[in-house]
Chain A
């Protein structure tokens, strides 16, 4: 900035800084609220007025992962002292942990949904990025008749509303028995992310000078060797950024998962809202599930911060 600033400009800057601060607080407040709710005891989650200062506890996370039921009668003092600390937290909230005949605790529905989300998001990301990278290299380095049309075709498959695609996929999957399977959802997410991955990777590969490979070819590498030993290492950052974007998309996806999965392969996004149900939901447990689910995305957003613009604009706008 210019060294000379008028007083009015300096005042304006101060106003801007304060406004930015207010906007940031407003934007982060909903996220803060969900995180704080996930550390509240149940009776503080729905108070009027809302409880802002409280002593955090982790009972919502215990209740999230283990099967539990309402306490019919208070536990005897012996039962209470014999119980491990996490079970006592559940007792304090007026519930008990369901144990099998041999006294083993059982997992609730959440952990398996979380693992399903991980398996499906990671596998489909690997497939979409691997195929996307080689296809992007093909489009970037070789002439292809009707190249722009193919690229448009690839992108348009991403733009379709999920429900439109889901109707025929549901019917086809029913014929081949892929409904409610991991494989079925992995295929769908791979197809969904593939177009994105081709477009983004093409941008990254276009930036790698052709001369690198040509030098390698002159040195006696084959095209394949040049691709694997020269281009791929150069594209590493781009591949990582693309992978994180694909992961987040698959991780967050709701409509396909709602339609195509019921239980065995259900991911977290359709599962978490289904927990609200009717009556009085335990918002601390829902918040805990939400918080754990959002955490990986928050971390990835931070790691991706320099590539966000590029990813969100399909590689069209670079910084």
Chain B
């Protein structure tokens, strides 16, 4: 019904009648993409939904037997899975908090009259554009206990970053912070530069202290953009696979995505891993929903 009033152009005019109608152009432009995404994103998920109710193993030729909700029940009762969730939660908190502190801090520093500001900003943004897998790999070289540059620079002797089970997760998080603080910095800079100058001038006239100015003017005005950065990074950290998988094989760094990968492609518990994937999927969709609501809110401003 709404489709008939698509353009401001008078539908009876000669221009509108030449060539294809607007509706057919719209359909030609939009429908292939949606079909493509349904075939390659939604259909596979339906396919794995079916397998999540079976005991299928992709490594054998045995046919899949319907087991109902057994996979889900077993997963939700498995204490090891909850350990994986706890590890992931710890990693998300440490790494996102680190990124916000470093990223926002550097943005505050850069939001001044700094010489070569443009060049410095671009250089600082470099880490987040690199491949996570390759970054994880070369941080292994930096973390090496005997010849690594990090132990040398910090004077830590033979400190074991990655082979110490208690330290490994933090070591991965530090690498993630190095890589993604620039992202928080980039968004914070945009937020900071949008704060109207006259607010600071007014605060200065009122003799407001720097702390008061920060908490009453800067932070509230940057908060929405900072929130976008936090939700986005939370979502990405939750999905972490590459960097942790490459850097260590400690059980203490086995996050959800790594557990899922091992279950599906090393233990070949295909049916079980499909069920696990669905549990993860529901969580991600929930976070995505919050994220998109926020994006739209900021867009409307």
Contacts and interface: CB of A to CB of B under 8 A. Distances in A.
Nearest to B58: A171
A130 to B, nearest CB: 10
Contacts of B106: 20, 23
Contacts of A138: 25-26, 29-30
A314 B288 CA distance: 13
A316 B29 contact: no
Given A23-B109, A301-B129, A224 B20 contact: yes
Contacts of B132: 252, 254
Contact of B183 (A23, A305, A312): A312
Contacts, number: 291
B285 A156 contact: yes
A135 B30 contact: yes
B145 to A, nearest CB: 10
A290 interface: yes
A86 interface: no
A131 B2 contact: no
B99 interface: no
A143 B123 CA distance: 42
Contact of B288 (A155, A166, A187): A155
A169 B44 contact: yes
A316 B26 contact: no
A273 B48 contact: no
Contacts of A141: 7, 26
A163 B261 contact: yes
A172 interface: yes
Nearest to B111: A16
Main SS at interface, chain B: helix
Contact of A131 (B8, B36, B118, B121): B36
Place the interface of chain B in its size category: 35 or more
Interface string A198-209: 100000000000
Interface stretch (B71-79, B89-97, B159-167, B273-281): B273-281
B186 interface: yes
A254 B114 contact: no
A142 B26 contact: yes
Interface in A287-314: 287, 290, 293-294, 297-298, 300-302, 305, 308-309, 312-314
B3 A50 contact: no
A167 B270 contact: yes
Choose among A138, A142, A143, A161 the residue with the greatest number of B CB atoms under 10 Å from its CB: A161
A81 interface: no
B192 to A, nearest CB: 12
Given A167-B273, A251-B131, A160 B281 contact: yes
Given A148-B296, A171-B48, 10 more contacts: A16-B109, A17-B115, A23-B106, A24-B120, A24-B123, A33-B141, A45-B147, A161-B239, A165-B44, A194-B36
Interface of A: 1, 13, 16-17, 19-20, 23-24, 27-31, 33-34, 37, 45-50, 131-132, 134-135, 137-139, 141-145, 148, 150, 152-157, 159-172, 174, 187-188, 190-191, 194-195, 198, 210, 214, 217-218, 220-225, 227, 248, 251-255, 259, 269-270, 272-273, 276, 283, 286-287, 290, 293-294, 297-298, 300-302, 305, 308-309, 312-314, 316-317, 319
26 contacts: A13-B112, A28-B126, A50-B149, A134-B33, A141-B26, A144-B30, A150-B34, A156-B292, A157-B37, A163-B241, A163-B264, A166-B264, A168-B45, A191-B36, A194-B33, A195-B37, A214-B9, A223-B22, A223-B25, A225-B19, A251-B131, A252-B134, A255-B261, A269-B242, A272-B134, A316-B228
